[in-house]
Structure 1
């Protein structure tokens, strides 16, 4: 029997054993589900979170959760890579608990909600930020014991019709959000349990980035005081002293960053914890100075990641990255001088990539390692729904070779470009992996997909 006060939140598992080998060590707590859960808890709901990846939840275990907890709403968070598994989970939920409401959320279904709602076991999709929308959904479901058709920020199937409600406006006052419900997450299963989001949205316009799909390009930040309060809470309650600030660009607002650093230097770690505070973040090469990096280091920053993207200035300009190779070099040098390990990420191929620009990138990678780069992480260009490159692929000369989202893992070639065929892209990526590994980097991204799909039947 359904319990109208019970809400279950699930993180859909990564498909394929090789993908999971890569995904599990780098998995981080699902902060999005944590924020939604804290909203629900504050409203009087009883909530459970299950990260099906790190917990290795199979069909039988999911059945046991559903039968013992009997949620009225099950929310499933998916990405493009996990979309099909999200559907398999939804189908399984409906099989064992047919009267509950099944909701999907995340960047993929924010764009492709029609695709999700074509399946009879998906009732409703939350588009964009989920806290307020999902809370209103759960309130309505609990009160009326039926699928609500009028919740702003959703798309819902009613009989044979899909009803698309307007997108909900972004949350402006992030300080008003309760901290994520970390006590509902299996923090001990994560290599990086101390994740904190201090801002939402990115003002940049990189053509391959799916970030603006959910958050658009509007940058909204929490106050330094609010961020420090969360850090202190994580130390006091969970004994976490190592943090990863998961913002797209932690250094976007320099004054706020300096205020956060001031607060971090004043953090109190109980004597029973013999570890020092340390943290890592992501930034842009044009958003740091020697002084900023030195201030960050004095506040505990040990590693910073920059989006390098390419070693060709021509490609960087075409990407709209608005950075120069010299700025990337300076960011690496200044980070090293400040005592911070610089890590760089890059994408291959770009729409106008050629053998010449790839050679320029090889040479630039060697240069960056010479001046102190800790690691360079190459990923294959992957066209995610809603990105500029996906929308403009024909104009850019990009041809998608598969619609199987379970190959959208940043390590499987799934496209060709105007100047490079599939074989050239595969060979180029292999050379990038070998070069970065030999000089100090580690390979990421799945290189193959197995047909066995984590014990979930196909939808």
Structure 2
């Protein structure tokens, strides 16, 4: 829509042109996501939606920043995953919106769907500007920018970059000067950034970045309030996810989080956001930081703000065992912390050292014992198929450690060799995997792409069998089943456990 506003300046009549646009940001469908640890049929017995649905907060932050810093545009948000919108249904939704600009978040394993969305959008709305952001754009910027039907990409944190992009499109100005925004042509001229400890070394073009995260507006959840988000480990279908910080300075060998500098939001703003969520009817809060509890002091400061506001809430977080004290956990429990998910990964000091976890078995055992004593539900995130596991016996011993640790829940994975990680580089150097396969996939994504794993000692087929064994071994213990039944507090929690048990039984 174009509006003309007359502006009188002395004797000249000037018309200011305002171009109002229909802008939509989407989380694309996940109908063709690459299976990370398939069985012999190519299937995974646990899919992403088995763990619940979580809002794509990064994309919501981008749209909320745009809303705060522009006027007149019609803004829309579609979460195709949580709303179970397939490719055909997405186009029907977009026909109602008639988008001028479409922003799309991305992961590399979702590229088949991303390519399909871009093709379908251009076929139906040829003048729509498609901008790709998210994790894939920062991992593979050259390949992302070269994708057919993609007009621009945002590398890095997209709040300001995407808003600047929209402003330039509105004024029909060049977008090539915007930090973090690249096109097929401009990325060819992009300078390689100097070494910057704020990022992984794999960041190969200058990215957009937010130094002061307190300057970013709280996400406007009116865009997603109609969607029921929940966690399989939660107690409600009114779950809100919150980010209290950005970045993680740790150097775990298997992790490719691109932002290494830790930037914390103020406890006051975190509490402000929770109060806004309460007004909208949310009653459970999941902190989705890469690293929530960087120090015990940080955890205590957030809890003290909750206590000062008299916030009576149920919340949980993902944390590390080496930055906890029992005192901090006790304060968290007092202020509503229900559950903590710890990245345990493996059960030996040797393995923890190989993975560069920065902790030891004693710290793991202390953290879980303290949670048990304080009545905080504990979750252990765990992996098998690790470089130090030299036989099936090693893997079974590793699984037994977690059974003996006896957390309230366990989530098992087979370690995936993601590019831009130390473990991936080690596997390439050993000749275990072929380097460059992800780049080829990024240029031509197909559904039959196979994700790499560490198969030096145990083949993938057997790792998948041991993955299923780990779940059965942990969850089908009579004592565990009885304890879990006694601790069930709500119909939602009961149904989550029931569906999870059925899933494991059917494998």
Q: Which bin holds the TM-score, normalised by the shorter protein?
A: 0.7 to 0.9
Q: Closer, same or farther in 2 for the Cα pair 1:344/1:366, shift >3 Å? A: same
Match of 2:57 among 31, 36, 39: 31
Does the Cα contact within 8 Å between 2:130 and 2:150 map onto a contact in 1? yes
Q: Is the contact made by 2:179 and 2:208 (CA closer than 8 Å) also made in structure 1?
A: no
Matching residue within 222, 239, 251 for 1:205: 251
**Number of aligned positions between the proteins:** 429
The yes-or-no answer on 1:112 pairing with 2:140 is yes
Q: Give matches, 1:373-452, under 5 Å.
A: 373-396=407-430, 398-399=432-433, 414-439=452-477
TM-score, length-scaled by structure 2: 0.78
Q: Distance in 2 between matches of 1:186 and 1:397?
A: 49
Which one of 323, 327, 331 corresponds to residue 359 of structure 2? 323
Q: Which moved more, 1:295-304 or 1:43-52?
A: 43-52
The runs of at least 4 consecutive aligned structure 1 residues that moved more than 6 Å come to 17-20, 404-409, 441-444
Answer whether contact 1:312 1:360 (CA < 8 A) is retained.
Answer: no
Change (3 A) 1:387 1:301: same
- Give the corresponding residue for 2:289: 247
Structure showing greater relative contact order (alpha-carbon pairs closer than 8 Å, 6 or more residues apart): 1
Aligned to 1:272: none
Among 22, 27, 33, the alignment partner of 1:6 is: 22
Higher radius of gyration, 1 or 2: 2
Q: Map residues 55-454 of structure 1 onto 2, 5 A cutoff.
A: 55-144=83-172, 148-158=175-185, 162-164=188-190, 166-168=205-207, 170-192=209-231, 193-211=239-257, 213=258, 215=259, 217-236=260-279, 238-267=280-309, 276-355=312-391, 356-369=393-406, 373-396=407-430, 398-399=432-433, 414-439=452-477
Distance 2:32 2:87 in 1: 16
- Aligned partners of 1:209 and 1:295: how far apart in 2? 30
Deviation at 1:400, TM superposition (A): 5.8
| Structure 1 Cα separation of the partners of residues 147 and 32 of structure 2 | 22
Task: Quickly say closer, same or farther: Cα 1:157–1:24, change in 2 above 3 A.
Answer: farther
Note closer, same or farther for the CA distance 1:46–1:190 as it changes in structure 2 (3 Å cut): same
1:406-438 Cα distance to aligned partner (Å, 9 max, x none): 8899xx974343222223322332322222232
Residue ranges of structure 2 left out of the alignment (5+ in a row): 3-18, 34-42, 192-204, 232-238, 482-496
CA offsets 1:21-77 (integer angstroms, 9 cap, x no match): 642651111111111111111122331000011222234432333333222211111
TM-score by length of 1: 0.85
Q: 1:398 to 1:312 in 2, by over 3 A?
A: farther
Asked if the contact 2:242/2:285 (under 8 Å) is kept, the reply is yes
Q: List gaps (5 residues or longer) in structure 1.
A: 270-275, 448-459
Secondary structure of residue in 2 paired with 1:170: coil
